Amino acid sequence: MSDKKNEVLDWLKVILIALAISFILNNFVIVNAQVPTASMENTVMTHDRVFAFRLSYLFSDPKRGDIVIFPFPDDESQTYLKRIIGLPGETVEIKDGKVYINNSKEPLQEDYLKEKPVGDYGPYKVPEDSYFMLGDNRNISLDSRYWKNTFVSKDKILGKVILRYYPSFKLLK
């Protein structure tokens, strides 16, 4: 009888350790998310599943071009996934669909865009410790251009998206 008791205890230990590791990973190391809309196509598609690394910005600041997960500034019960375009202190302006930073004569090079964006927006002066976000599928993305609370503060960024794992594996840049 004690052999069965020991086996049950061993299994309970394994299950508890697995639950503890899962809890630590999900709350302190990674963010697991499903992409709900087409706003980031063709980089990530609707219903793709991604991992974001929570510790990415522990010792460095977010960079332009990073894809990040954050609570939607106008309704923090929703989680959004967008690309960082404007950095703290910068002025972002969109003319004829092209993004210009700090009155530059040359627009950002954005090879990841799904199609040629259209429209004029801004200028937007990005506050210190905040970021201006845009989707890769600009013509349908509800992003910083349309939000009541235009910017995402650094402390609201949950993590940098690093991997799409469903429907197939792909490292994201």
Please identify every residue annotated as catalytic: 39, 82
For the chain, where are the E strands, in sequence order? 30-34, 49-53, 67-71, 79-86, 91-95, 98-101, 121-125, 130-134, 152-153, 159-166, 170-171
Other C-beta atoms lying within 10 Å of the C-beta of residue 9: 10
| 3 phi/psi in degrees, rounded to 5 | -65, -45
Q: What is the DSSP letter of 26?
A: I
How far apart (Å, rounded) are the C-alpha atoms in residues 7 and 16?
14
Residues 163 and 48: beta-carbon distance below 8 Å: no
Looking at residue 129, its amino acid is D
CA 60 from centroid of its chain's CA atoms? 16
**Can you read off the two tokens belonging to residue 148?**
């009541």
